[in-house]
A and B are shown apart, each in its own frame.
Chain A
Amino acid sequence: MREINDFDVAVIGAGHAGCEAALAAARMGFNTIVFTVSVDSIALMPCNPNIGGSSKGHLVREVDALGGEMGRVIDRTFIQSKMLNSSKGPAVHSLRAQADKADYSRCMRRVLENQERLTIKQAEVSEIIVEETKVKGVKIFSGITYYVRAVILCTGVYLNSRCLCGEAVKYTGPSGLQRATYLSDSLQKNGIEIQRYKTGTPARMDGRSIDFSRMKEQFGDVPIVPFSFSTDPESIQKEQVKCYLTYTNERTHEIIKNNLDRSPLFAGVIEGVGPRYCPSIEDKVVKFADKDKHQVFLEPEGLNTNEWYVDGMSSSLPEDVQIDMYRTVPGLENARIVRNAYAIEYDCIKAMQLLPSLEFKKISGLFAAGQINGSSGYEEAAAQGIIAGINAGRKLQEKDAIIIDRSEGYIGVLIDDLVTKEGFEPYRMMTSRAEYRLLLRQDNADIRLREKGYEAGLVSIEEWNRTQEKVRMIQDEIERLDRVRVGSSESVVSVLRSLGSADPVKGVSLKELIRRPELDYEKTALLDSERQVLPDDVINQINIEIKYQGYIERERKNVKNFKRLENRLIPDDIDYDKISGIRIEGRQKLSRFKPVSIGQASRIQGVSPADIQVLIIYIDSLERKEKDKC
């Protein structure tokens, strides 16, 4: 059979993980081939028609800072945009945009098509080829083998998937797309542990059959804030679509309860574990029985379609029940279903088989990203995709992997959680998972991660210089504000009084004034004659750094402690059975997970602080032994 040796990297799947992975590898200079079961489904959004949202918006910003594509594409294809939590502090502001799905998909596909060194290939990969714990290539269903040096699995929900809608079961991927039937077996043959997860999607309605007058309009923000640090905000201000809010009611719940026996989820037909945060409407009604209504958002699927997404009502009930159920909702009384809701079950891996670089611990050169790792969501997928792409490239460059740790980004939290904690349900990003979230803001993702993107070769020197210049301007200005004393002249007092602020105490600096809740950088302009004009994003950072200094400094201090443990690496060949001081449970867990650092070890469930102490001393004694030898 034919063998092809033209490529360095093969990416299996062209969803949100696959696109970022393939682009990263190609941009780093490697000949890359990306396989997809259907070229028409590149960057498909088979579920909700939006990008971002709480904590997910952070991920998009981080992907962008690293030189990824998701932010730029959504900036070009959004039809409504909103900054969530804008009434709260900056750390939890999160951008969310409604996408024109078809446009998003097409736009991303164009980026891939035009990318140098990147080849798109429609084919089902049926086998990965591994020789002596090293990946050698992939074989496609037609029998052709592609020999490559690195493979990235981005198979999404396509592995052995089946869609369920009541009694109707179809053995396909999402939206009736072809599934991947053979790859799971091949992975298992190579010793990879597989598990089964489940997720679901609601129905799409014909917009002409919806009575929007019975629902509450939901508008986008003005002005619109872009996702990408490289998008000019001026360029994206445009007319936005409306979304609509309505509610389920007692009748809806009645219908669901009466038909639970026909739900594959409750009848036990579904084996996969579903996510708790994105429950089907059946789940909500059963689990939160005391709630008499649930919110339902109607969101357009795009500008050139009549399809509307019924956010909040995913379901695996039979279609005849679905029709009755949806029609109880105000505004949907006469709604016609274009595509019914369904649940989808699929194979994914246990991600603790991966290193933080997303490479398999046991198979060199094989990487995995996205839903195959047990995550859910477009943004989570893209975030892993770019890291897997970068690290596949680093591997071929024989350089150290680029790792984002928990103190550097949500991407770090996401990947660390996936590879360190034994997951039991699809993993969704949440801001509460980030212990340093006051530092990990969406507004400073560039300051946090541009350097890594530059180091990887995905961010241009110009972009990187711009970020450095921004950091310098912020620091210089904060230092200056700390030095400037405003005095207590009559004019100062009167300015402060006009701003509703107390008279200055002796020797007070501008910085201290800015910290007052009623003041900020802009408001103190009249007291600051030497002030130069600074860009808005710089001013924003200055305000945040000064106003939240106490919290920010505390978290930075915590990060320092965290880094100390994170930077203490555990040798690959450590034999935990030789360390008598570690309890049996801790020893088993450590042997199984093989953490890369003391920090990671300390986050494994079942490893006690005492175990960690013992481990530190053991490693220390090993290092000292080495030294003594020399």
Chain B
Amino acid sequence: MNEKDTIAAIATGLVESGIGIIRISGSRAIEIADGVFGTREGKRLNLTEAESHTIHYGFIYDGLRTIDECLISIMRAPRSFTSEDTVEINCHGGPFILTKVLDIVIKNGARLAEPGEFTKRAFLNGRIDLSEAESVMDLISSRSEYSLDTSIRNLKGQVYEKVCMLRESILTETAYIEAVIDDPEHYSFESHIRDFSLFLETVSGDIETIIKDSENGAILKEGIKAVVIGKPNVGKSTLFNKLIGREAAIVTDLAGTTRDILETEVRFNGLLIRFFDTAGIHETSDRIEIIGVEKSRKVIQDADLVIFMMDKSSKIDKDDREILDYINGSDKKYFILLNKSDLSPVIGSSELESCLSVNNGQFLGFIDISAKRGENLDSILEKIHDYFMRGEISFNQEVILSNKRQIGEMKKAAESISNVKAAFESGLSEEFYSVDLMSAYESLGRIIGKSVEDDLADKIFADFCMGK
């Protein structure tokens, strides 16, 4: 809650758009912008000398690497929204560019703004009328709670558990150190050194993995795994072929001819979506097809998203219901594609509703398409992209954080742990480890919305027989 440092955030929201704006505010705003900005040839532009209310053309650099072409507006205090030195970087839109630029700005000394913080500063610096105070307060309280809640809710069970586990192990080690300090006649650290060193390796490894996966691993390399599923002959392979634009899958009018899982990748607004075509799941005695069905079930297990395809021109039958039950029995999010919109519909809306009687938040929506005519296929991609950006779809296997703030906290935790390692290796005594262990603990707590309170004292008393 430092009110004097320099803050930065994406001002335009994380949506696809032509232009996006990163806003930086605070005494170091111009200096920070100056440090990441240059001409095409990489020459510095000396923004610190620039006059207020001027616009500058150039490029954002991450070290020597060019990131984006942009315009930078300089507004000097007090003639800005916040009354502080403010810089707005107008760069190309899209979440990837925007988050990358924000990353660079933060790496160079800005802090990620809290929800409503620009408005708060504007108020504190007298820019907003007094009568607006009330609404600003409401804004802050609702926004911060909302954002905290949603980002925490979006953490998948695995991530939440992993963070809890990390915290627990950090707290246990800290409690041990504190017991040693408070009761040196009962406990000693010497006997614990090997365990402690092992703990450090494990924790730092775990944290590094999460950061790496969260930042680039999964999202860039692997993309979203979307499995297309449906009873035989519903049009999966047709859709699939349209998506990839080439005849890679075997498409016939005979039900059950897709034997192997086919896979293709589509890149949409920077997001990699991998579609998996599956054999239809239904009761079968055909041996070859059994293998296909088994494989499909497995693919669903590994999927990030299920696309359930139905034939709008024929009645909902037992197969459809079984597949739906199966999806609902997993924890996968899914869309329902209503295919064959070119034929006259048989399924009515009430029937569709009844399918969804068991819905525990997995169902994301209906999409009407005609695979044969290639109609409305883009809306599949749009919806997937949209839901991903809202955090409704996340990755299945990896323990990853999709929220900038959370990744930031995880990085702080990593830094704290590396400080502990450095202290440990340089032979400093254990009270110095506590300082950074507790910082790491706090950072991890902020990821899952927990504050520290008296955790440590409670832990010491619970685990150690203290006092004489």
Which residue numbers of A lie inside 8 Å of B, CB to CB?
Answer: 48, 54-55, 84-85, 87-89, 91-92, 275-279, 284, 287-288, 291, 294-295, 297, 311-312, 421, 428, 430-433, 437-438, 517, 548, 551, 554-555, 561, 564-565, 579-583, 605, 608-614, 617-618, 620-621, 624-625, 628
Do B134 and A88 touch across chains, with their CB atoms under 8 A apart? no
Bound complex: CA A561 to CA B144 (Å):
21
Do B124 and A432 touch across chains, with their CB atoms under 8 A apart? no
Residues of chain B contacted by A288 (CB below 8 angstroms): 465
Binary interface encoding of chain B residues 434-468 relative to chain A, with 1 for a CB under 8 A from any of its CBs, else 0: 11000000000000000101101100110001111
Do B468 and A432 touch across chains, with their CB atoms under 8 A apart? no
Residues of chain A contacted by B3 (CB below 8 angstroms): 564
Do A311 and B182 touch across chains, with their CB atoms under 8 A apart? no
Q: With both chains docked as a complex, state the minimum distance between the C-beta of A401 and any C-beta of chain B, in angstroms.
A: 26
Residues of chain B contacted by A628 (CB below 8 angstroms): 130
Q: With both chains docked as a complex, state the minimum distance between the C-beta of A61 and any C-beta of chain B, in angstroms.
A: 17
Do B429 and A580 touch across chains, with their CB atoms under 8 A apart? no
Given known A-B contacts A294-B465, A612-B1, A617-B136, A88 and B431 have beta carbons under 8 A apart:
yes
In the assembled complex, B426 has its CB within 8 A of some CB on chain A: yes
12 contacts between A and B (CB under 8 A): A430-B460, A432-B181, A432-B182, A432-B457, A438-B435, A582-B141, A583-B141, A614-B141, A617-B133, A620-B123, A624-B130, A625-B130
Do A613 and B431 touch across chains, with their CB atoms under 8 A apart? no
Chain B residue with Cβ nearest A56: B182
Segment at the A interface, from B183-191, B217-225, B283-291, B339-347: B183-191
Question: Contacting B144 at CB < 8 Å: which of A88, A311, A430, A609?
Answer: A609
Given known A-B contacts A55-B182, A610-B145, A421 and B454 have beta carbons under 8 A apart:
yes
Question: Contacting B466 at CB < 8 Å: which of A276, A554, A617, A620?
Answer: A276
Q: With both chains docked as a complex, state the minimum distance between the C-beta of A593 and any C-beta of chain B, in angstroms.
A: 15
Do B468 and A278 touch across chains, with their CB atoms under 8 A apart? yes
Question: Contacting A581 at CB < 8 Å: which of B137, B186, B434, B468?
Answer: B137
Bound complex: CA A431 to CA B184 (Å):
12
Do A613 and B138 touch across chains, with their CB atoms under 8 A apart? no
Residues of chain B contacted by A428 (CB below 8 angstroms): 467
Beyond A276-B461, A624-B130, 15 additional pairs, beta carbon < 8 A: A54-B181, A85-B181, A85-B184, A89-B432, A92-B181, A277-B461, A297-B468, A432-B174, A438-B432, A580-B134, A581-B134, A582-B141, A609-B451, A611-B141, A613-B137
In the assembled complex, B428 has its CB within 8 A of some CB on chain A: yes
Do A614 and B430 touch across chains, with their CB atoms under 8 A apart? no
Residues of chain B contacted by A517 (CB below 8 angstroms): 426-427
Q: With both chains docked as a complex, state the minimum distance between the C-beta of B207 and any C-beta of chain A, in angstroms.
A: 20
In the assembled complex, B140 has its CB within 8 A of some CB on chain A: yes
Bound complex: CA A89 to CA B435 (Å):
13
Bound complex: CA A555 to CA B133 (Å):
34
Residues of chain B contacted by A88 (CB below 8 angstroms): 181, 429-431
Bound complex: CA A438 to CA B3 (Å):
25
Do A431 and B181 touch across chains, with their CB atoms under 8 A apart? yes
Bound complex: CA A89 to CA B434 (Å):
12
Which residue numbers of B lie inside 8 Å of A, CB to CB?
Answer: 1-3, 114, 120, 123-124, 126, 130, 133-134, 136-138, 140-141, 144-145, 174, 178, 181-186, 426-432, 434-435, 451, 453-454, 456-457, 460-461, 465-468
Residues of chain A contacted by B123 (CB below 8 angstroms): 617, 620
Bound complex: CA A561 to CA B2 (Å):
7
Bound complex: CA A311 to CA B3 (Å):
50
Do B133 and A621 touch across chains, with their CB atoms under 8 A apart? yes
Residues of chain A contacted by B178 (CB below 8 angstroms): 430-432
Bound complex: CA A312 to CA B183 (Å):
12
Q: With both chains docked as a complex, state the minimum distance between the C-beta of B208 and any C-beta of chain A, in angstroms.
A: 23
Bound complex: CA A80 to CA B152 (Å):
55
Q: Which of A278, A437, A581 has most chain B Cβ within 10 Å?
A: A581
Do A621 and B431 touch across chains, with their CB atoms under 8 A apart? no
Bound complex: CA A605 to CA B141 (Å):
17
Chain B residue with Cβ nearest A296: B468
Chain B residue with Cβ nearest A579: B137
Do B181 and A609 touch across chains, with their CB atoms under 8 A apart? no
Bound complex: CA A277 to CA B464 (Å):
9
Q: With both chains docked as a complex, state the minimum distance between the C-beta of A433 and any C-beta of chain B, in angstroms.
A: 7
Do B466 and A580 touch across chains, with their CB atoms under 8 A apart? no
Q: With both chains docked as a complex, state the minimum distance between the C-beta of B459 and any C-beta of chain A, in angstroms.
A: 10
Residues of chain A contacted by B432 (CB below 8 angstroms): 89, 438, 548, 551
Residues of chain A contacted by B431 (CB below 8 angstroms): 88-89, 91-92, 431, 437-438
Bound complex: CA A508 to CA B229 (Å):
70
Question: Contacting B137 at CB < 8 Å: which of A284, A554, A580?
Answer: A580
Given known A-B contacts A88-B430, A295-B186, A581-B140, A277 and B124 have beta carbons under 8 A apart:
no
Residues of chain B contacted by A89 (CB below 8 angstroms): 428-429, 431-432
Chain B residue with Cβ nearest A565: B1
Q: With both chains docked as a complex, state the minimum distance between the C-beta of B20 and any C-beta of chain A, in angstroms.
A: 27
Given known A-B contacts A54-B182, A276-B466, A432 and B434 have beta carbons under 8 A apart:
yes
Do B141 and A581 touch across chains, with their CB atoms under 8 A apart? yes
Chain A residue with Cβ nearest B174: A432
Q: With both chains docked as a complex, state the minimum distance between the C-beta of A589 and any C-beta of chain B, in angstroms.
A: 13
Residues of chain A contacted by B133 (CB below 8 angstroms): 617-618, 621
Q: Which of A276, A278, A561, A628 has most chain B Cβ within 10 Å?
A: A276
Chain B residue with Cβ nearest A276: B461
Q: With both chains docked as a complex, state the minimum distance between the C-beta of A610 and any C-beta of chain B, in angstroms.
A: 4
Bound complex: CA A312 to CA B465 (Å):
10
Bound complex: CA A432 to CA B427 (Å):
21
Q: With both chains docked as a complex, state the minimum distance between the C-beta of A490 and any C-beta of chain B, in angstroms.
A: 29
Residues of chain A contacted by B124 (CB below 8 angstroms): 617, 620
Do B468 and A312 touch across chains, with their CB atoms under 8 A apart? yes
Chain B residue with Cβ nearest A295: B186
Q: With both chains docked as a complex, state the minimum distance between the C-beta of B236 and any C-beta of chain A, in angstroms.
A: 48
Residues of chain A contacted by B427 (CB below 8 angstroms): 517
Do A279 and B467 touch across chains, with their CB atoms under 8 A apart? yes
Bound complex: CA A438 to CA B435 (Å):
9
Bound complex: CA A277 to CA B3 (Å):
39
Bound complex: CA A85 to CA B180 (Å):
9
Given known A-B contacts A610-B145, A617-B137, A311 and B468 have beta carbons under 8 A apart:
yes
Residues of chain B contacted by A312 (CB below 8 angstroms): 468
Question: Contacting B435 at CB < 8 Å: which of A55, A551, A582, A611?
Answer: A551
Do B429 and A614 touch across chains, with their CB atoms under 8 A apart? no
Bound complex: CA A605 to CA B467 (Å):
27
Do B466 and A613 touch across chains, with their CB atoms under 8 A apart? no
Chain A residue with Cβ nearest B190: A87
Bound complex: CA A294 to CA B120 (Å):
56
Bound complex: CA A433 to CA B460 (Å):
11
Chain B residue with Cβ nearest A586: B141
Bound complex: CA A92 to CA B433 (Å):
13
Residues of chain B contacted by A605 (CB below 8 angstroms): 453
Q: With both chains docked as a complex, state the minimum distance between the C-beta of A550 and any C-beta of chain B, in angstroms.
A: 9
Given known A-B contacts A432-B181, A609-B1, A617-B124, A87 and B138 have beta carbons under 8 A apart:
no
Q: With both chains docked as a complex, state the minimum distance between the C-beta of B192 and any C-beta of chain A, in angstroms.
A: 14
Q: Which of B1, B114, B144, B465 has most chain A Cβ within 10 Å?
A: B465
Bound complex: CA A88 to CA B120 (Å):
45
Residues of chain A contacted by B144 (CB below 8 angstroms): 609-610, 613
Do A54 and B184 touch across chains, with their CB atoms under 8 A apart? yes
Residues of chain A contacted by B467 (CB below 8 angstroms): 275, 277-279, 428
Residues of chain A contacted by B428 (CB below 8 angstroms): 89
Q: With both chains docked as a complex, state the minimum distance between the C-beta of B395 and any C-beta of chain A, in angstroms.
A: 29
Do A433 and B457 touch across chains, with their CB atoms under 8 A apart? yes
Bound complex: CA A610 to CA B429 (Å):
37
Bound complex: CA A427 to CA B460 (Å):
14
Given known A-B contacts A277-B461, A583-B141, A431 and B182 have beta carbons under 8 A apart:
yes
Chain A residue with Cβ nearest B133: A621
Question: Contacting B140 at CB < 8 Å: which of A311, A433, A551, A613?
Answer: A613
Q: With both chains docked as a complex, state the minimum distance between the C-beta of A271 and any C-beta of chain B, in angstroms.
A: 21
Do B186 and A430 touch across chains, with their CB atoms under 8 A apart? no
Bound complex: CA A276 to CA B133 (Å):
46
Do A54 and B183 touch across chains, with their CB atoms under 8 A apart? yes
Bound complex: CA A294 to CA B429 (Å):
26
Residues of chain A contacted by B2 (CB below 8 angstroms): 561
